[in-house]
């Protein structure tokens, strides 16, 4: 009814006098319902003050702790053609086991006797190096002989020069004696000639003195010629000494030039020998690469390049292998806003795909089916999905992870943060505030110790 009128019918009529109203108002079920609601309200109010563990959840994958334990591929360092397979998918192989055999596809390595021919070239070039060394030794001996001959020739010419100087001195003395004799002969001739004019000497005596004067003059001229010849001998000895020095310097320089030429050729031959030895080692190593082997113990996952007669390039993936022994880990991704809240050795709960679990993110103690982990690495650069990668390792103080977990399976992670009341967490979620920022205890204690 619409309460349009101001007249209250309940004041004029007693509804309890009717049987229907007596039947309805005599029931007490609404009182129990009110009590129930009141109890629920009390319980809800109490629960608002219960502790709640703040957390950061994320999705991840099971991986390995060390890089060398993760699934990897086997490549060939050289291009080739597949000739024979020795394994199949799922086989267990040990390190060094042959996986497949390949053959060369480059014409430079088709020769089966390539290594033997290279060894022959090395021997020939080694002999050439020895011949050049022998030539250098012979030229050095030649230079030594030329130097000894130059020394002897120089000494001989110096002796001749000394003799020529002595002869010049002797001839100069004889020349002075001849000059003295001619002076004496002139005086005697003049004296005889004067006496003959006075009639004291005969003409015969004058003629004898004139003849003697002429002989003395002739001896003087002859002695002058000898003196000049002696000087010429001195000059000739000096010229000979200079000629010997120049001649032998030219011969020695030519021999030394031949030594350097032979040494250069020898060094070039040694370089060629080294190059051939390097090529020989490369050929031997290349022959060993015709058999592709396993790098470590593991299981063949998948053949990426199958068949017989298929050619491939160097570095191309041929087969995938999973190491037999590995340490499990989980990689998860967190938002950039949550990254400052994570630290090394942080406690994390992990739920693996395929393993039943009952998870209470805020009450990790009552969760079932989750396993303990800790943060061992935090990526310093953002990933392509816009989040930061975090690597988790098993927590030794918690339950052991299941052994049947395979690498690559999915996992959910819950990073445990600070304990707060439930009402605070609800208030934070409504306002979209980040979890409380805090520092680990070991860092705070270390700061105090520094202070």
Domain assignment present for 151: yes
Question: At 144, is the secondary structure helix, strand, or coil?
Answer: helix
> For the chain, what is the mean pLDDT?
81
Question: At 322, is the secondary structure helix, strand, or coil?
Answer: strand
Question: At 250, is the secondary structure helix, strand, or coil?
Answer: helix
CA distance 364 to 104: 61
Burial 72-88 (b: 16+ CB within 10 A, else e): bebbbebebebeebebe
Strand duo 298-303 + 80-85: pairing: unpaired
Domain assignment present for 407: yes
Query: pTM surpassing 0.75?
Result: no
Containing structural domain, residue 315: 72-104+290-323
Which strands make up the sheet holding 92-93, listed edge to edge? 72-75, 317-323, 298-303, 92-93
Domain assignment present for 366: yes
Contact 209, 182 (CB under 8 A): no
Residues 215 and 306 both lie in one domain: no
**Apex 178 CA angle, 173 and 179, nearest 5:** 95
Domain assignment present for 450: no
Residues 383 and 296 both lie in one domain: no
Under the banding of pLDDT at 50, 70 and 90, the label for residue 366 is very low
Domain assignment present for 281: no
Which strands make up the sheet holding 291-293, listed edge to edge? 291-293, 98-103, 80-85, 311-312
Domain assignment present for 140: yes
Span 265-299, pLDDT tens digits? 999 999 999 999 999 999 899 898 899 999 889 99
Residues 44 and 157 both lie in one domain: no
Lowest mean pLDDT among 102-116, 206-220, 243-257, 374-388: 206-220
CA distance 209 to 193: 9
Residues 63 and 128 both lie in one domain: no
Residues 123 and 138 both lie in one domain: yes
Residues 53 and 190 both lie in one domain: no
Domain assignment present for 273: no
Lowest mean pLDDT among 184-188, 365-369, 432-436: 365-369
Instruction: Count CA atoms within 13 Å of residue 218 on its CB side.
Output: 6
Residues 76 and 118 both lie in one domain: no
CA distance 333 to 413: 9
Q: CATH number for the domain including 240?
A: 1.10.287.620
Span 230-274, pLDDT tens digits? 888 888 888 888 888 888 889 899 998 999 999 999 999 999 999
Under the banding of pLDDT at 50, 70 and 90, the label for residue 329 is very high
Residues 376 and 317 both lie in one domain: no
Question: Is 213 exposed, middle or buried (CB count within 10 Å of its CB: 0-12, 13-18, 19+)?
Answer: buried
Q: What is the structure's pLDDT at 187?
A: 82
Q: Which H helix or E strand runs over 441?
A: helix 441-450
Could you tell me the sign of the dihedral formed by the alpha carbons of 147, 151, 157, 161, in that order? Answer: positive
Question: Count of domains in the chain?
Answer: 3
Span 52-86, pLDDT tens digits? 776 777 888 999 988 888 889 999 989 999 999 99
DSSP 50: S
Residues 431 and 344 both lie in one domain: yes
How many Cβ atoms from other residues are within 10 Å of residue 321's Cβ? 22
Residues 317 and 407 both lie in one domain: no
CA distance 171 to 160: 16
CA distance 188 to 225: 25
Domain assignment present for 100: yes
């Amino acid at each position: 009814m619409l309460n349009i009128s101001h007249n209250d019918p309940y004041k004029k009529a007693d509804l309890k006098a009717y049987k229907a109203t007596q039947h309805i108002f005599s029931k007490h079920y609404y009182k129990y319902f009110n009590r129930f609601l009141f109890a629920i309200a009390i319980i809800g109010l109490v629960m608002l003050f219960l502790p709640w563990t703040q957390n950061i959840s994320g999705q991840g994958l099971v991986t390995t702790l060390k890089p060398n334990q993760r699934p990897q591929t086997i490549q060939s360092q050289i291009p080739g053609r597949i000739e024979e397979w020795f394994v199949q998918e799922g086989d267990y192989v040990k390190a060094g086991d042959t996986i497949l055999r390949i053959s060369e596809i480059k014409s430079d390595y088709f020769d089966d006797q390539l290594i033997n021919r290279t060894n022959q070239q090395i021997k020939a070039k080694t002999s050439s190096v020895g011949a050049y060394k022998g030539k250098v030794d012979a030229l050095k001996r030649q230079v030594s002989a030329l130097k000894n001959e130059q020394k002897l020739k120089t000494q001989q010419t110096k002796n001749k020069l000394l003799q020529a100087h002595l002869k010049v001195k002797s001839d100069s003395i004889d020349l002075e004696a001849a000059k003295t004799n001619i002076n004496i002969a002139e005086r005697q001739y003049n004296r005889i000639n004067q006496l003959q004019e006075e009639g004291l000497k005969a003409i015969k005596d004058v003629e004898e003195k004139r003849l003697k004067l002429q002989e003395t003059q002739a001896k003087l001229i002859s002695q002058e010629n000898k003196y000049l010849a002696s000087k010429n001998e001195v000059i000739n000895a000096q010229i000979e000494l200079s000629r010997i020095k120049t001649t032998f310097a030219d011969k020695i320089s030519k021999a030394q030039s031949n030594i350097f030429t032979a040494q250069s050729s020898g060094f070039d031959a040694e370089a060629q020998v080294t190059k051939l030895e390097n090529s020989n080692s490369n050929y031997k190593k290349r022959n060993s690469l015709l058999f592709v082997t396993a790098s470590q113990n593991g299981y063949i996952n998948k053949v990426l390049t199958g068949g017989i007669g298929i050619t491939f390039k160097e570095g191309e993936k041929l087969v995938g292998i999973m190491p037999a022994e590995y340490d499990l880990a989980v990689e998860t991704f967190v938002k950039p806003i949550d990254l400052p809240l994570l630290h090394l050795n942080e406690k994390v709960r992990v739920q693996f795909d395929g393993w039943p679990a009952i998870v209470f993110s805020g009450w990790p103690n009552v969760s079932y089916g989750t396993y303990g982990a800790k943060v061992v690495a935090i990526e310093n650069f953002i990933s392509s999905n816009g989040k930061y990668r975090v690597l988790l390792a098993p927590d030794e103080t918690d339950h052991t992870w299941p052994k049947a977990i395979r690498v690559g399976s999915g996992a959910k992670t819950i990073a445990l943060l600070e304990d707060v009341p439930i009402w605070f967490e609800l208030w934070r979620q409504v306002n979209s505030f980040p979890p409380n920022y805090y520092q680990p205890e070991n860092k705070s204690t270390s700061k105090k110790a520094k202070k």
